[in-house]
Amino acid sequence: MSSTREESMALAKRALTHFVARTTDQAPGIMPMPVAAYTDPDRYRHEIERVFRRQPIALCLSLELPAPGNYVALELMGVPVLLVRGSDGQARAFLNVCRHRGAQICPHGSGSARVFSCPYHAWTYDDRGALIGRYRGETFGEVDTDALGLTPLPCAERAGLVWGVLTPGVPLDIDAWLRGMQEPLSGLCLGDWHLYLQRDLPGPGWKVTLDGYLEVYHHDSVHGRTVGKHTVGNLLVWDTYGPHQRLVFGRRTIGELRDLPEAQWEPEKHIRRIHSVFPNLSISGILGDHCLVSQVFPGPTPDTTVTRQTVLCSTPPATDAERDAADVFSAMTLQAVQDEDYRIGAGIQAAIRSGANTEFLFGRNEPAVQHYHQWVAQLSA
């Protein structure tokens, strides 16, 4: 992870100040949120359309398309997507749908191909989405092949991620969207990591799930056996970049800095950064040589999600010790998310319609959760 010493020192100082004073960054006040925001199906459909289908989201990591011809085919919130790195090196996104009769071109997964052939009638497309062949085309009749390429999705590549909009034709200005978050993301050098493994985790509803990624208030009570062993609960250093946020936690060792001259500080050993890119991406460098990337995708109903969890290593593990370290990190993150966060979230989801609450409360010590919901409201208005 690349960061200037000046920035790291400033973040560590803010975290140490909170640790000594037993304080945290705070919002101006408590924010109520109607429970209907989590349950109303009409509101859910409207917010998914406005927030997830018309705003840029991270579709994949650049390193998932390492070379020309590499592709990833996946379904995101009911939208079949084909991501391809063309022979010119450019990453592109298309609807994974043949223009003849609507069959999906590629099965879900990844691979390498120069030509994509529809399994139904063998219409073929190149790595830029152009229609280049039709089985027995002379018997089909004349068509405008230029108008029948794969339907492109707005797409751009920045900071080691491939971004896109799931609605064709929506303008995409990725630099304007990322705003000041592009520099912190670029500092992660995501393109230089090694993809160790990926897995998809079912989870509770979109908002219940995302709320858990945006606060450290619960770490001592929920994560005492996993990530909570490494971070100080209820200590948050918080910065915003438009809708995006950087959350910095103090590690359990942060107090050691009190007795050290600043010239001897190694600040990155004492803080943990979470980069939260609206609306559904979380990047966490939990232990120095390992990184967790989480993409939370709402399911077909307000009470389901799928999280694509990607474990990265700074270099490909080459020894048994390095593989063991990667496995330990992977197991810890899986336990923390699936067995701890999502278990609690499933309980919330099961009880949410009980009538016990008409509204939830976001505390002053949960400013990132408040900020997230304020931007959902703003962009879905």
Could you read off the pLDDT of 289-342 as tens digits, one per residue?
999 999 999 999 999 999 999 999 999 999 999 999 999 999 999 999 999 999
In order of 9, 203, 221, the CA distances from 37 in angstroms are 39, 18, 26
* Residues making up the chain, counted from first to last: 381
Kindly report the CATH number assigned to the domain that includes residue 151: 2.102.10.10
Q: From CA 311, how far away is CA 291, in angstroms rounded?
A: 6
Based on the domain organization, do 80 and 229 belong to the same domain?
A: no
Q: From CA 4, how far away is CA 22, in angstroms rounded?
A: 27
Q: From CA 50, how far away is CA 62, in angstroms rounded?
A: 25
Based on the domain organization, do 160 and 226 belong to the same domain?
A: no
Q: How many helices (H) and strands (E) does the chain have?
A: 11, 20
The separation between the first and the last C-alpha atoms of the chain, rounded to the nearest angstrom, is 37
3-class DSSP state for residue 211? helix
Based on the domain organization, do 157 and 47 belong to the same domain?
A: no
3-class DSSP state for residue 295? strand
Based on the domain organization, do 47 and 149 belong to the same domain?
A: no
Of the candidates 77, 120, 74, 111, the one whose C-alpha atom is nearest the C-alpha of residue 94 is 74
Contact 213, 294 (CB under 8 A): yes
pTM over 0.75: yes
Q: What is the CA radius of gyration of the chain?
A: 22
- What letter represents residue 307's amino acid? T
Based on the domain organization, do 45 and 72 belong to the same domain?
A: no
Peptide bond into 119 cis (omega under 30): no
- What pLDDT shows up at residue 287? 60
Based on the domain organization, do 161 and 193 belong to the same domain?
A: no
- What pLDDT shows up at residue 240? 98
Strand partners, 318: none
- What pLDDT shows up at residue 286? 61
Based on the domain organization, do 195 and 302 belong to the same domain?
A: yes
Domain boundary, last residue among 171, 200, 221: 171
Based on the domain organization, do 66 and 47 belong to the same domain?
A: no
Q: From CA 353, how far away is CA 360, in angstroms rounded?
A: 12
Based on the domain organization, do 38 and 92 belong to the same domain?
A: no
Tokens of residue 104, six digits = 């999906």
Strand partners, 309: 199, 294
Based on the domain organization, do 93 and 156 belong to the same domain?
A: yes
**Residue 64, domain extent:** 58-171
Q: How many domains does the chain have?
A: 2
Domain boundary, last residue among 145, 171, 197: 171
Tokens 């011809």 correspond to 69
Q: How far is CA 237 from the centre of its chain?
A: 20
Q: What is the pLDDT of residues 187-204, one digit of tens each?
A: 999 999 999 999 999 999
Dmax over Cα atoms in the chain, in whole Å? 83
Contact 153, 168 (CB under 8 A): yes
Based on the domain organization, do 20 and 62 belong to the same domain?
A: no
Kindly report the CATH number assigned to the domain that includes residue 22: 3.90.380.10
Based on the domain organization, do 264 and 341 belong to the same domain?
A: yes
Domain boundary, last residue among 171, 203, 236: 171
- Below-70 pLDDT ranges, the chain: 1-3, 285-288
- What pLDDT shows up at residue 2? 56
